[in-house]
Amino acid sequence: MSKRIFLSSPHMSDEGYEQQYVKEAFDTNWIAPLGENVNQFENELANMVGIKAAGALTSGTAAIHMALKAADVGEGDIVFCSTLTFSATANPIIYQNAIPVFIDSDYKTWNMCPKALEEAFEKYPDVKAVIVVHLYGMSADMDKIVALCKRYNVVLIEDAAESLGTYYKGRHTGTFGDYGIFSFNGNKIITTSGGGMLVSNNEERIAKARFWATQSRDQAKHYQHSELGYNYRMSNVVAGIGRGQLKVLKERVAKKNYILEFYKRELSGLDGIEFMPSNEWNEPNYWLSSMTLYGKVRPADVMEALEKENIESRPIWKPMHLQPFFEKYDFVGTDVSEKLFENGICLPSDTKMTDEELTRICEIIKGLWKD
């Protein structure tokens, strides 16, 4: 069987930037918990996206959790959340004993629908926060969403876990809300093996989040804790990998865009195929090349055909309001997210793929229309 082609796997730099920073951590014996790599990773990412402060954490999930806590979300508070996302977006709402209300997508962006969001505000005017996701590296319609949050004086949190390197009207996603989060999980556009970042222009709240994430240790010679703490801080070794990965982010974004354009060129002529949307104000990183199928060939057919050839692909995220754990919570919208889930597929988007491998994938898919 041919070598496995992954959906999106870690891709270290050819120059070995990551190893240089990790070696520095070993050479100075700053392995954990913190150190110069952590400090510089926070500074370098904040400078890159154009925001005042960043806190390096163990995961994007931890970053969302700290964002909600920084926003004073607590027991019984309502939080609006994009429904078309991975569960890591919604789980921290439950950590804070708050109540999620899921918001539908629109076809223009595949992200949170501003119209549905406005309906949700009318239904729940006392909402505490909004979590908007930038799905698969495509930005949501931020002007409308930001305006609604300002009108209702509600904290906005951007889940940019999948969209590092994406621009909305020339500005990085993750920097429009009161808080933004990024993920460096193994499958993301850059990775630290696992990790996340919380960003904000509110430097005081980021400092507080770092405090909570370091077990809320008070400044005392003995161990003293006046608040509940969490073990969420990134290690110095992991941060070293992140510093090296930041240096190749532009290359990774360029390759992700190349992959999508390759698929479009080869597959757009097939009946029933529609690719992920593109808008004039959006410069996506296209983390995962995705498409919907509305003809005789179904997503399951494509995934099965690819898997037979040792090639990984996946469905579009199953909406949160359809998940067994979350189905008891309210949902505002129509059926857009459900239709995207039913008809959507994420194609192999690994930045190490060659043209020969991309051609092979396309030929397998084209073959399904010949049967």
- Give the list of residues 6+ apart from residue 291 with CB closer than 8 angstroms, or none: 263, 267, 273, 274, 275, 276, 344, 345, 347
pLDDT, tens only, 65-91: 999 999 999 999 999 999 999 999 999
Dist CA 342 CA 281 (whole Å): 27
Asked whether the beta carbons of 107 and 343 are under 8 A apart, the reply is no
Domains of the chain (ranges, CATH numbers): 17-246 (3.40.640.10), 249-367 (3.90.1150.10)
The confidence score (pLDDT) of residue 73 equals 98
pLDDT, tens only, 29-68: 988 778 999 999 999 999 999 999 999 999 999 999 999 9
Q: Is the pLDDT of residue 356 over 70?
A: yes
Q: Is the pLDDT of residue 187 over 70?
A: yes
Q: For residue 282, give the amino acid letter.
A: N
The residue among 338, 307, 345, 304 whose CA lies nearest residue 323 is 338
Helix and strand element counts for the chain (H, E): 12, 15
Asked whether the beta carbons of 278 and 284 are under 8 A apart, the reply is yes
Q: Is the pLDDT of residue 190 over 90?
A: yes
Query: What are the start-end ranges of the H helices in the chain?
Result: 17-27, 36-49, 60-70, 87-95, 114-123, 142-151, 203-213, 236-246, 249-267, 299-308, 336-343, 355-367
Identify the H or E element spanning 315: strand 314-315
Q: Which residues pair with 121 in a beta bridge?
A: none
The two tokens of residue 113 are: 């629908």
Q: Which residue in this structure is represented by tokens 């400078």?
A: 47
Dist CA 38 CA 57 (whole Å): 9
Note the pTM of the prediction, 2 decimals.
0.97
The residue among 156, 78, 65 whose CA lies nearest residue 120 is 78
Q: Is the pLDDT of residue 131 over 70?
A: yes
Q: For residue 65, give the amino acid letter.
A: H
The confidence score (pLDDT) of residue 33 equals 76
Asked whether the beta carbons of 134 and 126 are under 8 A apart, the reply is no
pLDDT, tens only, 201-224: 999 999 999 999 999 998 888 999
Asked whether the beta carbons of 202 and 178 are under 8 A apart, the reply is yes
The confidence score (pLDDT) of residue 1 equals 65
Average pLDDT over residues 98-106: 98
Opening angle at CA 82, ends 133 and 57, nearest 5: 45
Query: What are the start-end ranges of the H helices in 81-151?
Result: 87-95, 114-123, 142-151
The confidence score (pLDDT) of residue 82 equals 98
- The confidence band for 369, taking pLDDT boundaries of 50, 70 and 90, is very high
- Give the list of residues 6+ apart from residue 105 with CB closer than 8 angstroms, or none: 82, 83, 84, 111, 112, 113, 135, 333, 336, 337, 340
pLDDT, tens only, 136-174: 999 999 999 999 999 999 999 999 999 999 999 999 999
Mean pLDDT of the chain: 97
The confidence score (pLDDT) of residue 65 equals 98
Please report how the helices 60-70 and 203-213 are oriented relative to each other, as an axis angle in degrees rounded to 10.
120
Q: Within the chain, what is the greatest distance between any pair of CA atoms?
A: 73
pLDDT, tens only, 272-309: 999 999 999 999 999 999 999 999 999 999 999 999 99
Within 10 angstroms of residue 280's Cβ, the number of other Cβ atoms is 6
